Structure 1
Amino acid sequence: MIKKLLSIVAASLVSFVLMVNASFAEPVLLKVPVWFPTTLPALGTSPAWVAKHINAIGGDLTMKTYEPKKLVPPKEMLEAVSKGQVNAGYTTPGYNMGKLGDKGAIFSAVPFGPDAPEFLAWVYYGNGRKLWQKTYDDAGFNVQSIPCGIIAPETSGWFSKEIKKPKDLKGLRMRFFGLGARVMEKLGVATSQLPGGEIVPALQKGAIDATEFSMPAIDKRLGINKILKYNYFPGWHQPATLFDLIVNKDTWNNKMSSGQRTIVELACRAVMADALAMGESMQFDTMKENAAAGTINKYWSVKMLATFKKQWDIVVGEMIA
């Protein structure tokens, strides 16, 4: 009973502090263009979830999401937020490797790296978040990064044929994300990092032969399973994938009150649990449905995993040389 009362008192104090702080704050509307359609479960629903719960508070802070290309093109989002053309955006550092370097991809997903709990432990209670922010700062971007979404293992490839040995990959043109693309390139795959909405058209036109994008439930929303038969899950390349809300630093530091910043931080922490649970809850039903419709779900063989790991070790050596 005492613990319960203390919890109630603590919650009341937090609410009081936030309300008092908000009463002295100027209204702030975060306009958030997103990389992913908000209809995509976990991947796209996270920023919409954050906006919904921030707006439900009914204070001086509100948030509105904009579908891809509606406010700024996804590939221009980082610069637009940094310059103050928009005051916020929802992305993942791996999509900005060309601007942040290899370090950017580390804060999205690491091949053969940490799973979701370990990744979050490092971000929140290790030095991860500090290094994450430093990556943006060192690259000269005027943005504040707030970790704001996570998904569990992704599919590591949709193919038109079974991949039994490394040479089966050679010569393929494949959409592939982040540092995992470096591994595939070592095996003779020509990789490209297409946005989700361009994958199916590229497959239909024959511009690419294979792809990975996200978890089976998300890939199904795009229709990838209707074109390619073999699905390799779970993926070695993205055991977990992190996303962030980026806010223009002038907005974050000078226009937002500490209470408003706290609300954003808490909403982004909360969506971590929602996104992870949502993603995990959908995978196996989706894979069963896909199998019934003709998809062949596969695990990578021990030999293939060893091949990927060997090439990843080579990539790591090149990165730190």
Structure 2
Amino acid sequence: MRIARTLGAIALAAATTLAISASDADAKKVRWKLHSAFGTNVAVLGPVGPRISDWVGRASNGDFDIKVFEPGALAGGYAYYDPVSQGAFEAAYGTPGANQGKNSAFAFLSTWPFGPGALEFNAWLQFGGGVEIGKELYGRDGIEYFYCGMIPPETSGWFREKITSLDQLKGLKMRFFGVGAKVMQKFGVATQQLAGGDIYPALELGTIDATEFSMPAIDRTLGFYQIAKYNYFPGWHQQSTTNEILVNRDKWNELDDSQQAIFDIACRANQGIELAEGEALQPAAMIANEKDGVENVTWSDDVLNSLRDAWQEVLAEEIAANPDVKNLWDSYSAFHEQYKIWGERGYLK
């Protein structure tokens, strides 16, 4: 009987130890919710959330789990700034320009008209102070900012009718992103910024007359080619565009060093993958659009020069109105001035 009691005590102790160990292991597991501003079915942009989740999960042996939510499940597509800041969910994937209502400088962190291509933009962000500016701006509201992706040039618009003069833009209702919208307003366009999933219904119902959103492959996913048959190039307003993941600072600080490193490395890895995929998918999408009756149209030099002149007016207004924009622009301009000796000589024209 004594032996039985001893064995029973040992078994109970072992079970208790295992239970405590399992409890400790569970306590160390991290479970995050990640809002995606883009539907996961959208080309190039959509796979980013699941990709980051997969990489982080595998690298952490399942101890760091990120569940990705479609637009609208936790918040509206672009309406993620406040929920992340307030800790309603841990993280959100989108683009800084989505937050320009909070601070117009966020639009510049995303892209700007006649701005740099992906290589120069990436260089400034990572080695010229751009990321540090982003971290300071978001940090004011308890948010950790991660530059987490870059896409190539976009198209500059889908129109129902062919545009032969900028005078035709007057009175148009158009979805337009970032500070490029203020350039279009100079030509009498009534602009609004809609999240990706809201554009097709607005275009179909006539709430808007025209739209821009992204690259041909992405726009094709959203079906614009079915309604608007004139797609204009080049994307003067977005020669390259960044993506971000925002993280609630308190939740970020709860991670250990290894978990933080895994997340940061995943974002850095996505920058290259997203840019490469963005470049690779566009030709096939443009060809498919043409087969569906779309005309790929190139703006004339005169039109582009007029748009560039209007942009200079908008830029001066933005710098005068917001010291954060001025600080960002001064940083980029200093970088660009030094970069030119390489940028103007290193590449074939």
The two structures have a TM-score, normalised by structure 1, of: 0.89
Q: Deviations over 1:239-280 (max 9, x none)?
A: 111011111100112x10111111011100111111111111
Structure with greater Cα Rg = 2
Partner of 1:187: 187
Partner of 1:247: 247
Please give the residue correspondences for 1:155-170 in structure 2 after superposition, counting only pairs within 5 Å: 155-170=155-170
Deviation, structure 1 residue 109: 0.8
- C-alpha distance in 2 between matches for 1:278 and 1:214: 14
- C-alpha distance in 2 between matches for 1:63 and 1:294: 41
CA contact (8 A) 1:81 1:246 kept: yes
Deviation, structure 1 residue 121: 0.6
* Structure 1 spans left out of the alignment, 5+ residues: 1-22
SS, match of residue 153 in structure 2: coil
Deviation, structure 1 residue 40: 1.1
- C-alpha distance in 1 between matches for 2:50 and 2:150: 14
User: Identity, % of aligned pairs?
Assistant: 44
Please give the residue correspondences for 1:17-36 in structure 2 after superposition, counting only pairs within 5 Å: 26-36=28-38
* Equivalent of residue 124 in structure 1, options 118, 126, 150: 126
Deviation, structure 1 residue 238: 0.5
* Residue identity opposite 1:117 in structure 2: L
CA contact (8 A) 1:164 1:304 kept: no
* Equivalent of residue 110 in structure 1, options 112, 132, 149: 112
- C-alpha distance in 1 between matches for 2:119 and 2:52: 21
- C-alpha distance in 1 between matches for 2:138 and 2:146: 12
* Residue identity opposite 1:241 in structure 2: T
- C-alpha distance in 2 between matches for 1:119 and 1:28: 33
- C-alpha distance in 1 between matches for 2:147 and 2:78: 19
SS, match of residue 107 in structure 1: helix
Deviation, structure 1 residue 28: 1.3
Deviation, structure 1 residue 72: 2.4
* Equivalent of residue 52 in structure 1, options 47, 51, 54: 54
Q: How many residues align?
A: 295
SS, match of residue 39 in structure 1: coil
Partner of 1:20: none
Deviation, structure 1 residue 177: 0.3
Partner of 2:42: 40
Partner of 1:153: 153
Deviation, structure 1 residue 59: 4.3
* Residue identity opposite 1:290 in structure 2: N
- C-alpha distance in 1 between matches for 2:107 and 2:244: 12
- C-alpha distance in 1 between matches for 2:182 and 2:245: 26
CA contact (8 A) 1:151 1:276 kept: yes
The root-mean-square deviation of aligned C-alpha atoms, in Å, is 1.5
Please give the residue correspondences for 1:196-235 in structure 2 after superposition, counting only pairs within 5 Å: 196-235=196-235
The two structures have a TM-score, normalised by structure 2, of: 0.82
SS, match of residue 149 in structure 2: strand
- C-alpha distance in 1 between matches for 2:40 and 2:247: 19
Partner of 1:262: 261
Please give the residue correspondences for 1:130-141 in structure 2 after superposition, counting only pairs within 5 Å: 130-137=132-139, 140-141=140-141
Deviation, structure 1 residue 226: 0.6
Deviation, structure 1 residue 141: 1.4
Runs of 4+ with deviation above 4 angstroms: none
- C-alpha distance in 1 between matches for 2:70 and 2:193: 19
- C-alpha distance in 1 between matches for 2:233 and 2:217: 12
Deviation, structure 1 residue 288: 0.9
